């Protein structure tokens, strides 16, 4: 089990709408980075996604900071807004920070979320970096290589 700071604990605003999917539709686990400062909070990111992008909620399903703390975004089964064409099939997890900010603690928590997703799905999801499914540098070279290597324990 992964300890996850839930929405009420980090003070999330309510989504303006949600679309649920189910585990049969989940086939991928998509890793992102925020490409912003590592001290950004989930609230900052939610504010940007809702107030600047006009989205219904924070775009990611989960977020992980440099300390390895996991935060609930949309959660396991709400369709996200993180990778065009892969929001229903993919669970989107975002590392808060840039390419040079990645830590072993963050990687190990992303790895734990991946294993938790596989347990919940009852099968192995395909782990990808955002750039594998879209035209972007996300999730940075360091995380992308680590995902390509199979999310090894750090
Ligand atoms: Zn991304």
CB 32 within 8 A of CB 43: no
1 pLDDT above the threshold of 90 = no
Q: Judge contact between 28 and 82, C-beta under 8 A.
A: no
Rounded distance, CA 53 to CA 66, Å? 25
User: Tens digits of per-residue pLDDT, 5-32?
Assistant: 999 999 999 999 999 999 999 999 999 9
Question: Distance from the CA of 113 to the center of ligand 1, in angstroms?
Answer: 17
pLDDT tens profile 93-137: 999 999 999 999 999 999 999 999 999 999 999 999 999 999 999
CA nearest to 95, candidates 47, 63, 127: 63
CATH of domain 23-148: 3.40.80.10
Beta strands 62-64 and 70-72: pairing type? antiparallel
Token pair in block for residue 86: 């892969």
9 Cα to the center of ligand 1, angstroms: 24
Distance 79 CA to ligand 1 centre (A): 15
């Amino acid at each position: 089990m992964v300890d996850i700071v839930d929405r009420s604990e980090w003070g999330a605003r309510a989504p303006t709408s949600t679309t649920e999917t189910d585990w049969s539709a989940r086939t991928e686990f998509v890793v992102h980075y925020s490409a912003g400062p590592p001290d950004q909070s989930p609230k900052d990111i939610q504010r940007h996604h809702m107030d600047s992008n006009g989205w219904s909620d924070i775009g990611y399903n989960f977020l992980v900071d440099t300390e390895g703390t996991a935060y609930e975004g949309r959660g396991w089964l709400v369709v996200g807004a993180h990778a065009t064409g892969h929001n229903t099939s993919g669970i989107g997890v975002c590392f808060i920070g840039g390419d040079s900010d990645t830590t072993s603690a963050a990687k190990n928590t992303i790895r734990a979320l991946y294993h938790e997703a596989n347990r919940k799905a009852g099968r192995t999801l395909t782990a990808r970096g955002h750039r594998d499914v879209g035209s972007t540098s996300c999730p940075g070279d360091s995380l992308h290589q680590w995902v390509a290597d199979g999310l090894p324990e750090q």
